[in-house]
Amino acid sequence: MTAIAILPVKSFHLGKGRLAEALGPDVRARLGRALASKTLDTAEHAGLIPIVVAGDDTVAEWSVGRGVPAIPDPGGGLSRAASEGVAWANHAGSPWMVLHTDLPLLTVGELKTAAGLLRSGGDLIAPSTDGGTSLIGSTDNLEFAYGPGSFRAHLPRLRNPTVLAVLGLLHDLDSPSDLESARLHPRGRWLRELVD
């Protein structure tokens, strides 16, 4: 069965606040939209069914305009947004993965690998380099624990998890140094027009 990729997307104008020292608000908004678009494209090309948990009406309109269902973010942080997406996926009876949209180096091949692991049974988790959780997947309900050190918090909540550590899921975009290293990597060339 095809897995559902749950993409929590904050307001484009409120996201990427930790990049404020390097980028102005308009550039951060363009970057947030571009990252969400790239992640959505990558998920679709990997054969996943994306849904967006939309942080505001602008994000919902963007998602629906792309032909992707949008459900409202209930507020209260990423864990609640992820739970809302999982409830939607469980209603559809599909395996799910919560996938962050701040992964500028993510490839279709990496997501195909993740989808294959999820289809083979068990749970799946992918860490980011700072100890966060870039992707987490299951067929069960899960109590999410996003925040600092979420990989360690999530790991014992999964049954027989596979840990997927690949470049595109390890490298998220939380700081100016993350942005600079992504821009300099061959996979990150697309960022240069946005932030130069």
pTM, two decimals, is 0.94
pLDDT digits (tens, 9 = 90+) for 131-165: 999 999 999 899 999 999 999 999 999 998 999 99
153 phi-psi bin (left φ>0, alpha ψ -120 to 50, beta other): alpha
Question: Domains of the chain (ranges plus CATH)?
Answer: 4-195 (3.90.550.10)
Question: What's residue 193's pLDDT?
Answer: 85
DSSP string for 97-123: EEE-S--TT--HHHHHHHHHHHHTSSE
DSSP string for 72-106: E--SS-HHHHHHHHHHHHHHHT--EEEE-S--TT-
Residues 6+ apart with CB under 8 A from 85: 4, 6, 7, 8, 51, 53, 71, 96, 98
